[in-house]
């Protein structure tokens, strides 16, 4: 089984598509994970509405990602999990008993010029399974 970390970024969407294709090829289900950092304000200034919490935003990201995976690969069994904690730490935990972890190369952080985001970089050096890092252009 391959776990995909989703955050709504372009590279996470590319990672989702890559992982959906791979899951179908290997006849596996596709678990999607979004991690909400507990120290971030539940009502951030960037929320779509004053009523949308980060938890609700994460749940919506997962819903959209699952729909996208199912549209790309009809019949694919997709599960979702909203987790809370430090992103890299939670994703490493999610990847303890899986074949692989798939991530986008760049998340929604502020250092857009970096080749790898801090989460991808941190996980590459500490994951116990293979990690696929997918760029928004479809590369890995």
Residue 127 to residue 53: CA distance in whole angstroms: 30
**What integer pLDDT is reported at residue 117 of this predicted model?**
54
Question: Looking at the predicted structure, is the pLDDT value of residue 27 above 90?
Answer: yes
pLDDT at residue 45, as a whole number: 61
Residue scoring higher pLDDT (95 or 29): 29
Q: Is 78 exposed, middle or buried (0-12, 13-18, 19+ CB in 10 A)?
A: buried
pTM: 0.82
Least Cα distance to 3 among 103, 137, 90 occurs for 103
Segment 56-94, tens digit of pLDDT:
889 999 999 999 999 999 999 999 999 999 888 898 888
Predicted confidence at residue 105, as pLDDT, reads 82
């Amino acid at each position: 089984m391959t776990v995909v970390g989703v955050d709504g970024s372009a590279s996470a969407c590319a990672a989702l598509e890559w992982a959906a294709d791979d899951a179908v090829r290997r006849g596996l289900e596709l678990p999607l994970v979004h991690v909400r950092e507990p120290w971030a304000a539940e009502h951030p200034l960037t929320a779509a509405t004053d009523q949308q919490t980060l938890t609700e935003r994460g749940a919506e990201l997962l819903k959209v990602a699952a729909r996208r995976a199912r549209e790309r690969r009809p019949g694919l069994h997709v599960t979702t999990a909203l987790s809370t904690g430090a992103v890299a730490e939670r994703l490493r935990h999610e990847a303890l008993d899986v074949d692989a972890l798939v991530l986008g190369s760049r998340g929604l952080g502020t250092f857009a010029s970096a080749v790898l985001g801090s989460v991808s970089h941190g996980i590459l050096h500490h994951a116990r399974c293979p990690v696929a890092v997918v760029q928004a252009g479809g590369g890995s």
